[in-house]
């Protein structure tokens, strides 16, 4: 049984993993770079080890350093979180070789899904629908143009080693195909060290819907229903929700079965995600599989009422799945907003710096997965996401209302954040009506960047000023001399209302 887990990650996800470990009575080990000495994941862990300079290439991505700390600390398992080494098959293999449990799937599963041509072929063989396209590598120009004609335009050229949008090219006419392939190849080579590309039919205005799966070491695999992830900007998700507004009970059953079939075809062990593109006619196609815990896993946890990290640890311990498919029931609705230290009005440039003050939301149906605090300096070296707000309610309408309240309560000064931008998404009619696809942000960008006519902030200011005037009038009417020796601001977010000295009326 696992007694000590090294979390090979930083920030909110490292804290998230340690929370479940602590509940299970498992000791936790943090690793950190020089830029992360003051990160919450370091103070939260039972032990913490410095592994190098700020650059992740010299710290969080160095397999030897992580393995060395695992051995020195006597950790019997490593949880990779997401990003960094989480989908690195060589790392998973190395852990096994060193006798350390890798909390994740077998290296072979990671490899099979990491190469998109291989994963497409495996899915076709397993009877999972994929986007119509090429099954093999692209060869000569003439042959390729023939194949493309059969697939039909528009065509998407993709890198086999890619994923997440890198090395992709959209082609609408045959005359532009070859140059797109040449460009995609060169981008793929420089990004992934592999120039292999393939073609798919382009799905117009798709939805991105993914299914969470869990597989144990005994061949049992279940799914935990879907997440709607179409609200994204440049392949960075911003808001996720479950259930998907698009989903029907029938489609969920069918796609869930297909997701389990996809996972079974690579003998999947642990927590994973099957991504689908869903078109306007509700036709769905396997896109890729993420062989890791995902950023947006909490919305599934809230609605299915399962701790996915605990399940990962149980699975790694060799336990049989704690649930049958028939135990999995969605209850209510959950939405996640990713809070990023960035400036939407300045082309979303990251806004590193010191957090002067932070007040996190609380109350019924609220979850905050975070790692920052008052006085914390956000390093420039890593992802700008500082926390995730998750709101749960009995249905979608109430979840949206609650998320608006949660965003209102979340106050952060010292740095710029995307909170206002997220609010605008929740204000948009297409979002509230659930009518959106992967093009939502680019289509609505002008609306989203324009401040609301009367912002909530302004209403708040007016209320504070009104209360202050009323207070002053009361003093005046009393005809007395009043000593005011109160240096507290009426609202801690503004200096307005600070008073000191004697006020003679």
* Residues within the interface to ligand MV4 (CB under 6 A): 131, 156, 163-165, 200-203, 206, 208, 232, 235, 277, 287-288, 438
Before 243, cis peptide (omega within 30)?
yes
**C-alpha to C-alpha distance for 270 and 316, rounded to whole angstroms:** 7
Instruction: Choose between 200 and 383: whose C-beta lies nearer to ligand MV4.
Output: 200
Among 31, 46, 63, 80, smallest CA distance to 312 is for 80
**C-alpha to C-alpha distance for 17 and 2, rounded to whole angstroms:** 14
Please report how close the Cβ of residue 434 comes to ligand MV4 at its closest, in angstroms: 17
Q: Which residues contact 207 (CB under 8 A, 6 or more apart)?
A: 228, 230, 244, 246, 277, 278, 279, 437, 438
Q: Which residues pair with 223 in a beta bridge?
A: 213
* 155 neighbors 200 (Cβ within 8 angstroms): yes
Please report how close the Cβ of residue 342 comes to ligand MV4 at its closest, in angstroms: 19
Please report how close the Cβ of residue 431 comes to ligand MV4 at its closest, in angstroms: 16
Q: Which residues contact 139 (CB under 8 A, 6 or more apart)?
A: none
Instruction: Choose between 235 and 253: whose C-beta lies nearer to ligand MV4.
Output: 235
Residue 205: DSSP 8-state: S
Please report how close the Cβ of residue 203 comes to ligand MV4 at its closest, in angstroms: 4
Please report how close the Cβ of residue 102 comes to ligand MV4 at its closest, in angstroms: 24
Q: Where are the alpha helices (DSSP H) in 82-140?
A: 89-97, 107-114, 116-126
Please report how close the Cβ of residue 165 comes to ligand MV4 at its closest, in angstroms: 4
Q: What are phi and psi of 96, to 5 degrees?
A: -60, -45
Q: What are phi and psi of 340, to 5 degrees?
A: -120, 145
Instruction: Choose between 59 and 119: whose C-beta lies nearer to ligand MV4.
Output: 119
Among 153, 247, 229, smallest CA distance to 441 is for 229
Q: What are phi and psi of 260, to 5 degrees?
A: -65, -40
Q: Supply angle C-alpha 415, 419, 420, rounded to 5.
A: 105
396 is catalytic: no
Structure tokens at 40: 């919450």
Please report how close the Cβ of residue 356 comes to ligand MV4 at its closest, in angstroms: 35
Please report how close the Cβ of residue 437 comes to ligand MV4 at its closest, in angstroms: 9
Among 117, 66, 121, 120, smallest CA distance to 88 is for 66
**C-alpha to C-alpha distance for 425 and 481, rounded to whole angstroms:** 50
* 503 neighbors 481 (Cβ within 8 angstroms): yes
Instruction: Choose between 23 and 442: whose C-beta lies nearer to ligand MV4.
Output: 442
Largest CA distance in the chain: 94
Structure tokens at 356: 């002067």
Instruction: Choose between 9 and 438: whose C-beta lies nearer to ligand MV4.
Output: 438
Instruction: Choose between 31 and 277: whose C-beta lies nearer to ligand MV4.
Output: 277
Q: Which residues contact 257 (CB under 8 A, 6 or more apart)?
A: none
Structure tokens at 481: 């001399």
Active-site annotation holder among 292, 396, 402, 424: 292
Residue 345: DSSP 8-state: G
Instruction: Choose between 187 and 288: whose C-beta lies nearer to ligand MV4.
Output: 288
Instruction: Choose between 36 and 437: whose C-beta lies nearer to ligand MV4.
Output: 437
- Positions marked catalytic: 292
């Amino acid at each position: 049984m696992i007694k000590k887990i090294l979390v090979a990650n930083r920030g909110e996800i490292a804290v998230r993993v340690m929370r479940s470990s602590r509940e299970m009575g498992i000791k936790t080990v943090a690793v950190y770079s020089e830029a992360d000495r003051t990160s919450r994941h370091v103070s939260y862990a039972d032990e913490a080890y410095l592994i190098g300079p700020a650059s992740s290439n010299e710290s969080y991505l160095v397999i030897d350093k992580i393995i060395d700390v695992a051995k020195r600390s006597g950790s019997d398992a490593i949880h990779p979180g997401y990003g960094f080494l989480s989908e690195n098959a060589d790392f998973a293999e190395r852990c096994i070789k060193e006798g350390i449990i890798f909390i994740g799937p077998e290296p072979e599963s990671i490899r099979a899904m990491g190469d998109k041509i291989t994963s497409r072929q495996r899915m076709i063989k397993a009877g999972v629908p994929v986007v119509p396209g090429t099954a093999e590598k692209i060869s000569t120009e003439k042959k390729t143009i023939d194949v493309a004609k059969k697939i039909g335009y528009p065509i998407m050229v993709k890198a086999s080693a890619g994923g997440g949008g890198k090395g992709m090219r959209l082609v609408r006419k045959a005359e532009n195909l070859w140059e797109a392939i040449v460009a995609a190849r060169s981008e793929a080579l420089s990004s992934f060290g592999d120039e292999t590309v393939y073609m798919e039919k382009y799905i117009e205005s798709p939805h991105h819907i993914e299914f969470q799966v869990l597989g144990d070491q005994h061949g049992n695999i279940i799914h935990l229903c879907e997440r709607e992830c179409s609200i994204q900007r440049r392949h960075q998700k911003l808001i996720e929700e479950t259930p998907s507004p698009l989903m029907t009970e029938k489609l969920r059953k069918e796609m869930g079965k297909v997701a389990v079939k996809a996972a079974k075809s690579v003998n999947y062990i642990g927590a994973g995600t099957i991504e689908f593109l869903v078109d306007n006619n509700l036709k769905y196609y396997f896109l890729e599989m993420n062989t890791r815990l995902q950023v947006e896993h909490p919305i599934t946890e809230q609605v299915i009422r399962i701790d996915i990290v605990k399940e990962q640890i149980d699975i790694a311990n060799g336990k049989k799945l704690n649930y049958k498919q028939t135990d999995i029931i969605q209850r209510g609705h959950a939405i996640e907003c990713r809070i990023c230290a960035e400036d939407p009005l300045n082309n979303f440039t990251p806004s590193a710096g010191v957090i002067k003050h932070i007040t996190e939301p609380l109350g019924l149906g609220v979850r905050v997965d975070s790692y920052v605090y008052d006085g914390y300096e956000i390093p420039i070296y890593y992802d700008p996401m500082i926390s995730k707000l998750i709101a749960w309610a009995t249905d979608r309408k109430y979840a949206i209302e609650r998320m608006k309240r949660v965003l209102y309560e979340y106050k952060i000064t010292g740095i710029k954040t995307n909170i206002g931008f997220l609010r605008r998404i929740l204000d948009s009619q297409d979002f509230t009506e659930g009518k959106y696809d992967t093009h939502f942000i680019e289509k609505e960008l002008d609306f989203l960047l324009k401040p609301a006519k009367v912002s909530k902030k302004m209403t708040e200011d007016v209320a504070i000023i009104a209360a202050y005037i009323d207070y002053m009038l009361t003093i005046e009417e009393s005809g007395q001399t009043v000593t005011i020796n109160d240096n507290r601001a009426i609202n801690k977010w503004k200096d307005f209302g600070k008073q000191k000295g004697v006020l003679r009326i």
